Amino acid sequence: MKADRKQISTARGVALVRAIEMTRPEADRASSDPYAHRFVNPLTVQFMRVVSALGINRLTGIEEMMNFAMARERHIEAIMSRELRDGTRQIVVLGAGFDTRSYRLPGAAAVPVFEVDHPVTQAAKREALRGVVDPLPANVHFVGVDFDHDDLGERLRAAGYDEGKRTLFVWQGVIVYLTREGADRTLAFIARHAPPGSAVVFDAIDSAALASSGATGLRFFTSAMGEKVTFGIGLDEIVPWLQARGFRDVDIFGHAAMQRAYLGRRPIAAGVYIATARVA
């Protein structure tokens, strides 16, 4: 049961950040999710707004991580839209949590979407969306996986995943909680079970930034959601690391680029980045 509660806590923590963002004027939002409020307590949203107004989030470094989370939402959404336009025929969302892009992204309804996560998280998600996104779109497939015990490939294939179709793997908010071996296993699965031209997008943190005192906000932010950051990979290492694992066309979108594109003067955590790569 502790693991189940941890799954829910993490998913709700990210949804809370999206719900707080929705309280900003529309023109000031880095990202928008009209369903985010369904997953959180409205009193918690108001409490966090007061905390932010008092400057506590900025002092602790949480504000920088919250802004990164919103820039990440926006950028990965843009990549999903681009890949759909360019011929992606299915999407796999690894660690989907309470992500709602499958239900609101233009073009997503035209392809199969496989949301992979713990069955407890998925049950909570279905309940939260009841009466709002009801029935759930027929193209969205919930793939319940206990990563400690289940075989990801078997579960995906049973849900209808086609290894011959060009696929986008969305791997958001996951890799920093893994070991290097765990990350390798996921990348190996993608490289071996998706055709050339398929893509993966994920967020990560530079190992040098993770080891610095500036990572206090990151650690505080993630520990509040019941997780512990365990893995970073250097910006000088990420491209050869992915190439050695069967990927090409690696693109790195760093924290400074995210700030310019989506945040304006809002601060963002240093060392965070989003990587996109294609199966060779």
> What pLDDT score was predicted for residue 7?
58
128 and 98 Cβ atoms separated by less than 8 Å: yes
**3 pLDDT above the threshold of 50:** no
Report the alpha-carbon distance of residue 103 to residue 139 in Å, rounded: 10
Global confidence as pTM: 0.93
Residue type (1 letter), 220: F
174 and 95 Cβ atoms separated by less than 8 Å: yes
- Tally the C-alpha atoms within 13 A of residue 38's C-alpha that lie toward its C-beta: 16
What strands lie across the sheet with 199-205, from one edge to the other? 140-144, 113-117, 90-94, 167-171, 199-205, 272-279, 247-254
pLDDT, tens only, 157-206: 999 999 999 999 999 999 988 889 999 999 999 999 999 999 999 999 99
Q: In this prediction, what percent of the chain has a pLDDT beyond 70?
A: 91
Report the alpha-carbon distance of residue 279 to residue 191 in Å, rounded: 6
Confidence tier at 6 by pLDDT (50, 70, 90): low
**What distances in angstroms separate CA 79 from CA 32, 138, 145, 150, 244, one per listed residue?**
16, 23, 25, 29, 23
Report the alpha-carbon distance of residue 187 to residue 171 in Å, rounded: 10
Report the alpha-carbon distance of residue 51 to residue 60 in Å, rounded: 11
Ordered DSSP codes for 42-81 = HHHHHHHHHHHHTTHHHHHTHHHHHHHHHHHHHHHHHHHH
222 and 228 Cβ atoms separated by less than 8 Å: yes
Q: Which CATH class is domain 2-279?
A: alpha beta
3-state secondary structure at position 136: coil
Which of residues 72 and 177 earns the better pLDDT score?
Answer: 72
